Amino acid sequence: MARRRIVYPDAGADAPRQLTGARLARLEALGDFALHVGTRSDADFGARLAEADGIISAWGLDAAHMRAAPRLKIISFTGLGAANFIDLDEAARLGITVTHTLSTAETVAEHTMALMLAATRHIARLDRETRACGWNQGLQGFDLRGKTLGLVGFGRIAQATVPLARAFGMDVIAWTRRPEPAAHPDVAFLALDDVLARADVVSFHLLLTRETTGLITDQHLRRMKPGVVVVNTARAQILDEATLIELLRTGHIAAAGLDVFAIEPLPAGHPLTRLDNVVLTPHSGFNTPEGSLAILDGAIENLEAFYTGRPKNVATRA
């Protein structure tokens, strides 16, 4: 019987250094392993997949690539939000299980706090102006101490954000479909409208699914209190980006720290790039050495679980 073939067809430049020792041994225990540094736009990308039984993927597969890999049974995606990068409906039709990794909660939570601090203290704008020999001491930020953080969604990243926010002296309120107040006595769980209306800082932490796409409407954003700060390290498609931009222009939303966008990378001249009250990072909240290794460990663990008949962290659109 032919050995199983595991392929990483779109690895980053650091992957050959990271996938050594025990990590490489775990992959080779599952089958023959092939590593390719590149992206799915490479001319030979499809050929890399042809004999694959299992795939680790950083950038996902489209329907055509999945159909061209007849032996493929699992795609272990190296991140959350697999639905953004993989056609989950087509995967289901082809009998392919798609998993995502949950290992970077603490890393993204730290990035959430970094964006929050940068937005509330105008760090990016003041840095630009100071480098240009400006000296803008009149632009006030505000303290996090005593303010209310509203978390929309309460998965692992939001939960990891709670102790960080409380260390700054913030009160934390949250909305989630399945609140567990007994497990989180330091968080007040409220209706979505109440969280948006009461929070001084609103931070989004929702996976992108059919239910969450467009969940935060124009009206939801307009109900937020004047002067609110918005942080999004989840997915841009969960909210009305056009209204977010409008309210940033008018000052109703005082500032935003954004790591995700409706179009990525941001095109030249995008309205968000022209706003002084926005801090932008290129969907990189996961990107630390520790976070990258945790993602790889999680992706390997998902493959191991699948091949022992106990798949976990399965991505769905539900």
Domain ranges for the chain, please list them.
5-103+288-307, 105-280
- The CATH H-level superfamily of 105-280 is NAD(P)-binding Rossmann-like Domain (3.40.50.720)
For residue 143, count CB atoms less than 10 angstroms from its CB and return exposed for 0-12, middle for 13-18, buried for 19 or more. exposed
Angle between the N-to-C axes of helices 123-131 and 105-120, in degrees from 0 to 180, rounded to the nearest 10: 60
User: What's the CA gap between 164 and 151, in Å, rounded?
Assistant: 13
pLDDT digits (tens, 9 = 90+) for 88-111: 999 999 999 999 998 789 999 999
- Pair type for strands 74-77 and 97-99: parallel
Profile the chain (318 residues) by mean pLDDT over runs of 10 residues. 89 95 97 94 90 94 92 94 88 96 91 98 97 97 97 96 98 96 96 98 93 96 97 96 98 98 95 98 94 95 97 85
Give long-range contacts, CB 8 A cutoff, 24+ apart: 145-149: 145/169, 145/170, 146/170, 146/171, 147/171, 147/200, 147/201, 148/172, 148/173, 148/198, 148/199, 148/200, 148/201, 149/116, 149/173, 149/199, 149/200, 149/201, 149/202, 149/203
User: What's the CA gap between 10 and 135, in Å, rounded?
Assistant: 45
First to last CA, the chain: 37
**5-103+288-307 and 105-280, same CATH topology:** yes
Provide the pLDDT for residue 318.
58
Residues forming the active site: 235, 264, 283
CATH number (3.40.50.720, 3.40.140.10, 3.60.15.10, 3.90.950.20) of 5-103+288-307 reads 3.40.50.720
DSSP 8-state symbol, 4: P
Provide the pLDDT for residue 1.
55
**Residue 303 near residue 54, CB atoms below 8 Å:** yes
**Cβ count near 109 (within 10 Å):** 24
Helix-, strand-, coil-residue percentages of the chain, each rounded to 5: 35, 20, 45
